[in-house]
Structure 1
């Protein structure tokens, strides 16, 4: 009864990085997507540096 008269307790927010590291499927997704994007960008940069045939 004494507890109901106090201020309402707000739940503590979990930090974003902790939520990311606690989610194995998100880690799997990021572990596949990030290297893929970097390799695609690296390949596109390499393609732009190839001299044109004459």
Structure 2
């Protein structure tokens, strides 16, 4: 009976999403930067749409 070879832990690649979700500092960075950039862009769009006073 031939047994299946077990994968070597050193050669097995960790998926990218698992590496991102396992890093709390990266999650903190993403959680702060994405909303900040979103609100800055939203604020710029609001300023551009304000009509010019005459």
- RMSD, aligned α-carbons: 1.2
- Please give the TM-score of this superposition, normalised by the length of structure 2: 0.79
- Report how many residues are paired: 46
Tell me which residue corresponds to 2:12.
12
Q: 1:2-51: per-residue Cα shift (whole Å, max 9, x none)?
A: xxxxxxx5611111110000000000000000000000000001001000
C-alpha distance in structure 2 between counterparts of 1:43 and 1:12, whole Å: 45
Unaligned segments of structure 1, at least 5 residues: 1-8
- Please give the TM-score of this superposition, normalised by the length of structure 1: 0.79
Q: Secondary structure at the match of 1:33?
A: helix
Unaligned segments of structure 2, at least 5 residues: 1-7
Matched, 1:44 2:40: no
C-alpha distance in structure 2 between counterparts of 1:48 and 1:14, whole Å: 45
